[in-house]
Amino acid sequence: MEEDIPAVEKWHQVIKAIENTTKYSLRASPPFDASSPEVFQSYWRDIFSRLRRSVVTDNSIPEFLTDPPVKKFTITFIDVITGLACACCHPEVEANITLENAAGVTKSDLMNGMIEKLYGETLPRVYTEPEYLFDVRDCEPTETDSDSEGYDPDDISFTEDSGVVVYETSWISAAGERDRNNLVYSREPQIYFYCCKPEKYHEFKKLWDDAIEEMRKDHEEARSQFNPAVEPT
């Protein structure tokens, strides 16, 4: 029996296009007004409808989100409030978007799902992660903790009262590579879209970038301690 070929991630270019389009379209965006949400939703729906046409016709962007193609893919919208999110630590919640395609999930499927669920006729449901989760992730669970990394499941909530924009994305990759591509973590990959109100975009993006830079410095320091420089003789 032929061994299964490990799937690799091919969605990076589509996701980067979404992030960049959000960044460069933010300045002209109308503010969100709860009394007329369609103004905001329509602006962003038009922006991403144009991006969808561009992505679909761009042959340099892979057709399928993985290679070999997977048949199911999920996307979850999250507002993490503070700093860097951790895709491996998020509580299990119902995904906002479930993409299914018997032939394999495509870039068009992803764009269609995003436009429908994030900028459709109804406001998106965005999971709100408790602020204190950033403190408990590094703590050992106690006897009173649930199985959910030390947070209280009752504190998991959703908001559905505002238009949002995507300021960052994240997912879990498996260890190893194939053809210089990251390996897919599971047979049903999941991407987190970190969302915030448009007026919070720059603040949240800076928190994310600062956290990434701090993590990079910590890794460099740890590496230098593990492999100290050899003094010349």
Task: Let me know if 192 is exposed, middle or buried by CB neighbors in 10 A (0-12, 13-18, 19+).
Answer: buried
* Each residue's pLDDT tens digit, 1-18: 335 788 999 999 999 999
- The pTM (predicted TM-score) of the whole model is 0.83
pLDDT the model gives residue 143: 46
Q: Which pLDDT score, from 0 to 100, does residue 82 have?
A: 55
| Cβ–Cβ under 8 Å, residues 129 and 79 | yes
**Mean pLDDT over each residue of the chain, to the nearest integer:** 85
Question: Quick check: 46 and 104 in contact, CB under 8 A?
Answer: no
**pLDDT value of residue 1:** 32
- pLDDT for residue 151: 54
pLDDT digits (tens, 9 = 90+) for 42-75: 999 999 999 999 999 999 999 999 999 999 999 9
Q: pLDDT grade, residue 89 (50/70/90)?
A: confident
